[in-house]
Amino acid sequence: MGKSIFIKGEHIIMSKSLKNIKGTQDILFDDNNIWQYLESHIHQFLNKYGFSQIRTPIFENTNLFSRSIGTQTDIVSKEMYSWTDQGGNNLTLKPEVTASVVRAYIQHNLGKKYPINKLYYIDTLFRRERPQKGRYRQFNQFGVEAIGSEHPEQDAEIIALAYNFYKSLNIENLTLKINSIGSEEVRNKYKLELKKYLIPYKDKLSTLSQKRLDTNPLRILDTKIDFEIEIIKNAPHIIDFLNKEDKDHFSKVLSLLDSLSIKYDIDHKLVRGLDYYCRTVFEIQSSKLGSQDALCGGGRYDYLVEELGGKPTPAIGFAAGIERLILSLNKKELSIFKRPNIYIINTEEKYLETSFEITESLRNNNLTVINDTLRRSLKSQMKDANRLKALYTIIIGEDEIKNNKVTIKDMDKGTQSYVSFDKINSYFLKKQ
Ligand code: ATP
Ligand code: MG
């Protein structure tokens, strides 16, 4: 039997259709401590690198995504939450953020304002994928976009930033995978060669890969199926098709990473799923994550600004899953409990005004103060204070009111002090 709830005065049983949608989650109580901690860590960390936050709408015109991500990609071909609104507009809940950032960059003429725009976001995205551990239909990402520089030092800065971010959270078992997929011309040449190599194996490929052979052969390199992995083992490497400029760019990125002692694996199979990437692509994985092992992924997208109607502008960025970040954190680090400083125990309705005044003045001194609004007994308020792991309780009862004093109990030591009303704040300020 479902939980019963009230809707418009009717008492009904909670049916499946009133529960959260598959692939979405409610985040409750202590789990929010880690979210709040991570969000503020992300802001602090990215501000240190001089990135500024950008917030874009939760939905956009559908064609923004089909034009940028590419119609042959999984996201656009089958995973978007799209609908037509009452005005006949085709809209989509954002499945990723880069397209929106670039749209905003063009729309607000940011390139004219600043020659380089270093932006970051924390956002909620939607993709209709098969939900499993580390893969949801509503999920959260933070990401960065540096728009304006074509130089390899920009690639290295972004990659180092991503790597150092995970290091700053003591995440272990990190692997940085990197590849260069060259310019569009190189990719087209390579696609033909790859197709040539794969055609003899066509009958052995999965139906999906057979389809991709015509539409998006690069994606076959990304396969997770064992027998396909075997087939592509000897496939040609895109790196061998790079022109001189692409090669020079890539070796400079690598030498800058070397200078920072950041270890990487060159992965010839790494091509990334979206159409807009060129030259450097990378992913950071954690072996703690199982099959959804990518913590973040990104790369250069020098053609996207132009593709969406702006002036040709080079850019590079990455996006990082926050749910996967949490899954990869050390469990010990997850226990960031926030203990309230004080729990106010008021024993009588008639002392409410006094207890409100004390509560507010303590909060004005930046203390976390909890008060009871259920008019519970002293005993059950004390129990609640224990459950919340309050550091102190303040008891306001008959005796206390008579003497203009309160009883302050140190919940860890079990000791009590009797403190006059006007000394309560200084009592706690001294403890800080
Ligand atoms: P994957 O290969 O795992 O599907 P992706 O290449 O689709 O990832 P991007 O679109 O580049 O991933 O998104 C960047 C990051 O966002 C991923 O590395 C992952 O950490 C996270 N991510 C992507 N899709 C999901 C999802 N459905 N649920 C939770 N996190 C996700
Ligand atoms: Mg994916």
* The total number of residues written for the chain in this structure: 432
Q: Cβ-count burial of 346 within 10 angstroms (0-12 exposed, 13-18 middle, 19+ buried)?
A: buried
Torsional sign, CA 80, 83, 87, 89? positive
Indicate which atom in ligand 1 lies nearest the CA of residue 137. 27
For ligand 1, atom 13: residue with the closest CA: 319
How confident is the model over 385-419, as pLDDT tens digits? 999 999 999 999 999 999 999 999 999 999 999 99
Please report the pLDDT score of residue 279 as a whole number: 96
Is the whole model's pTM more than 0.95, yes or no?
A: no
Q: pLDDT (tens digit, 0 to 9) for every residue of the chain, 432 residues total? A: 344 455 555 555 677 778 999 999 999 988 898 999 999 999 999 999 999 999 999 999 999 999 999 888 889 999 999 999 999 999 999 999 999 999 999 999 999 999 999 999 999 999 999 999 999 999 999 999 999 999 999 999 999 999 999 999 999 899 999 999 998 889 999 999 999 999 999 999 999 899 989 888 998 998 889 999 999 999 999 999 999 999 999 999 999 999 999 999 999 999 886 778 999 999 999 988 888 889 999 999 999 999 999 999 999 999 999 999 999 997 666 556 678 999 999 999 999 999 999 999 999 999 999 999 999 999 999 999 999 999 999 999 999 999 999 999 999 999 999 999 999 999 999 987
Residue whose C-alpha is closest to residue 130's, from 27, 22, 225: 22
Cα(157)–Cα(318) distance, rounded to whole angstroms?
Answer: 12
Measured by CA distance, the residue closest to atom 29 of ligand 1 is 135
Tokens matching residue 91: 């809209």
CA–CA gap between residue 408 and residue 419 (Å, rounded): 7
Residues 209-224 pLDDT 10s: 999 898 889 989 988 8
Q: How far is the CA of 69 from the centre of ligand 1 (A)?
A: 14
Residue 200 structure tokens: 């003899």
Six-digit token pair at 138? 């509503």
Ligand 1 centroid to residue 133 C-alpha, Å? 12
Q: Which of 292, 293, 295, 329 to mutate to test the pocket of ligand 1 (most atoms within 8 A of CB)?
A: 292
Cα(46)–Cα(143) distance, rounded to whole angstroms?
10
Q: Work out the angle at residue 131's Cα, subtended by the Cα atoms of residues 130 and 136, and round it to the nearest 5 degrees.
A: 115
Q: What ligand 1 atom has the least distance to the C-alpha of 292? A: 3
